[in-house]
Amino acid sequence: MTIHRRSLLAVLAAGSGVLAMPFAARADGTLEAAKKRGTLRVGVTQAPPWFSKDPKTGQWSSGLGVFFGKAMADKLGVKMETVEVSWGNSIAALQADKIDIMFMIDATPERKQAVDFPETPLLWYALAALTRDDLAVKTWNDLDKAGVKIAVPQASSMDRFVTAHAAKADIQRFPDNAAAIAAFQSGRVDAVVLFHPPLLAARQKLGKGKLVVPTPAEWQASSTALRKGDTEFVNWVNQQLAESYKSGQTEKWYEQAVADFGLDPKLAPPVMKEMIK
| CA atoms of 107 and 156, how far apart (whole Å) | 18
Is the pLDDT reported for residue 10 higher than 70? Answer: no
Q: What is the pLDDT of residues 20-65, one digit of tens each?
A: 444 444 557 999 999 999 999 999 999 899 999 999 999 999 999 9
Ranges of beta strands (E only) in the chain are: 39-44, 52-53, 60-62, 79-84, 101-105, 123-131, 149-153, 170-174, 191-195, 210-212, 219-226
Cα atoms in the Cβ-side hemisphere of radius 13 Å centred on 103: 31
Pairing of strands 39-44, 79-84: parallel
| CA atoms of 213 and 75, how far apart (whole Å) | 34
pLDDT interval class at 3 (50, 70, 90): very low
| CA atoms of 273 and 172, how far apart (whole Å) | 28
Q: What domains can be seen in the chain, in order of their start residue? A: 4-123+221-271 (3.40.190.10), 126-212 (3.40.190.10)
CB 39 within 8 A of CB 73: yes
Give DSSP secondary structure letters for 87-155: TTTHHHHHHTTS-SEEEEE---HHHHTTSB--SS-SEEEEEEEEE-TT---SBHHHH-STT-EEEEETT
Q: What is the pLDDT of residues 142-178, one digit of tens each?
A: 999 999 999 999 988 899 999 999 999 999 999 999 9
Percent of the chain at pLDDT exceeding 70: 90
Average pLDDT of the residues of the chain = 90
User: Which pLDDT score is estimated for 157?
Assistant: 86
Is the pLDDT reported for residue 208 higher than 90? Answer: yes
Kindly provide the b/e burial profile for residues 239-261, where b requires at least 16 CB atoms within 10 angstroms of the residue's own CB.
ebbeebbeeeebbebbbbbbebb
User: Which pLDDT score is estimated for 276?
Assistant: 79
Q: What is the pLDDT of residues 113-125, one digit of tens each?
A: 999 999 999 999 9
User: Which pLDDT score is estimated for 26?
Assistant: 54
pTM over 0.85: no
| CA atoms of 7 and 199, how far apart (whole Å) | 11
Better-scored residue on pLDDT, 219 or 6 = 219
Mean pLDDT of 169-190: 96
| CA atoms of 70 and 170, how far apart (whole Å) | 46
